[in-house]
Amino acid sequence: MRRKELDEIRTLRSLATEQPNPFSAGLEGKSALDIARVINREDQKVAVAVESALPQIARAIDWIAEALSTGGRLIYVGAGTSARIAALDAVECPPTYNTDPRTVQFVVAGGTKALASAVESNEDSRALGVREMRKKRPEKSDVIVGIAASGRTPFTVAAIEWARRAGAKTVAITSNPDTPLERAAQLAIVVETGPEVVGGSTRMKAGTAQKMVLNMLSTGAMVRLGFVYGNLMVNLHHGNTKLIDRSIRILQQSLALPRGQAKQMLRAAHNDVPAAIVMAKARVSREQAQDALKAARGHVRNAIRRAALSKERS
């Protein structure tokens, strides 16, 4: 084995996420309830670890919101568990916020087939990381987020390095400090989750931390863009009966209307919840509400102000 490979193995073994966890020693001899208690106690440490990275998370939210407001993209890149968690966050944005699927994307080592089955050899290839990122053609208006618990995945590191050279803003999310991924990115979100309950199984605490951070990034950006009114998800996509019912309830809450009137308002807005809110709040027609929303780039509260001001002037 070459010296470089030996050094890499030694480095991996030294990572906090790879260390044995003294709080889960003798796990296989415990009852189901005790196993659950151990995992639960360790999981409670994750939120505390994420809290320490909130300033960096907030900065990333601002970057992403600015990018999306000017037509840029948010692109996640990762391998294995990290990629699957990133893919979940990306594909949930269109049904939650009615965004174009191109707005939030993901790059997975091994391609989309790796979402359903392990293709672990691909994560060791820097060349594949560069190749997959080049396909996305990152630009200055984009934000590229690399996710890796170890912070050392060659595929992800190379992809982030290439995206940064292309001019995109780059963010690293990792559970270990002072790693190649952290150094490759302009902004690092380091959530030190420590040893796993099952040694090295970073789909557990590290994975939970990644899910929490990605939730904050995408949700925070969408809130800043005005796709949330108050704390209601008003820009939702209507794909089934449940979502139509949710739209009615959102109008009931945001407009203080009984259910029957909320249904009427939704029909008048052609099932467009943001337009219905602007129509009701600014007392304008559907066409005026849609014009205001377009001018405000979908920001509901700003659209209400625009529509009301336009009505006063006319």
In this prediction, residue 97 carries a pLDDT of 92
Q: Give 157-167 pLDDT, tens digit per residue.
A: 999 999 999 99
Q: How sure is the predictor about 200, in pLDDT bands with cuts at 50, 70 and 90?
A: confident
Average pLDDT of the chain?
Answer: 92
> What is the C-alpha separation between 186 and 181, in angstroms, rounded?
10
In this prediction, residue 14 carries a pLDDT of 75
Is a pLDDT exceeding 80 seen at residue 13? no
Q: Give 36-78 pLDDT, tens digit per residue.
A: 999 999 999 999 999 999 999 999 999 999 999 999 999 999 9
In this prediction, residue 23 carries a pLDDT of 83
Cite the active site residues: 92, 123
Considering the chain, what percentage of its residues have pLDDT values greater than 90?
77
Whether the model pTM is above 0.75: yes
Contacts of residues 244-249 at CB distance under 8 Å and 24 or more positions apart, as own/partner, are: 244/271, 247/271, 247/273
In this prediction, residue 8 carries a pLDDT of 56
CATH 1.10.8.1080 positions along the chain are 241-313
Considering the chain, what percentage of its residues have pLDDT values greater than 70?
94
> What is the C-alpha separation between 200 and 121, in angstroms, rounded?
17
In this prediction, residue 4 carries a pLDDT of 56
Element (H, E) at 144: strand 143-147
In this prediction, residue 154 carries a pLDDT of 95
- Tell me which CATH code domain 241-313 carries: 1.10.8.1080
Q: Give 260-270 pLDDT, tens digit per residue.
A: 999 999 999 99
Summarize the confidence of residues 277-285 as an average pLDDT.
Answer: 95
Q: Give 223-262 pLDDT, tens digit per residue.
A: 999 999 999 989 887 767 888 899 999 999 999 999 999 9
Is 145:76 a contact under the CB 8 Å cutoff?
Answer: yes
DSSP class of residue 229?
B
Is a pLDDT exceeding 70 seen at residue 5? no
Tokens for 253? 């809450």
In this prediction, residue 48 carries a pLDDT of 97
Q: Give 175-193 pLDDT, tens digit per residue.
A: 999 999 999 999 999 999 9
Summarize the confidence of residues 84-93 as an average pLDDT.
Answer: 96
Is a pLDDT exceeding 80 seen at residue 156? yes
Alpha helices by DSSP H, listed for the chain, are 3-14, 32-51, 54-69, 80-97, 126-136, 154-165, 180-184, 205-224, 241-255, 259-268, 273-282, 286-295, 300-313
CATH label, 7-224, candidates 3.20.20.140, 3.40.50.10490, 1.10.10.10, 3.40.50.300: 3.40.50.10490
In this prediction, residue 119 carries a pLDDT of 65
CATH 3.40.50.10490 positions along the chain are 7-224
Q: Give 121-145 pLDDT, tens digit per residue.
A: 678 899 999 999 999 999 999 999 9
Cβ neighbors of 158 (< 8 A, separation 6 or more) are 126, 127, 129, 130, 133
> What is the C-alpha separation between 130 and 195, in angstroms, rounded?
31
Is a pLDDT exceeding 60 seen at residue 10? no
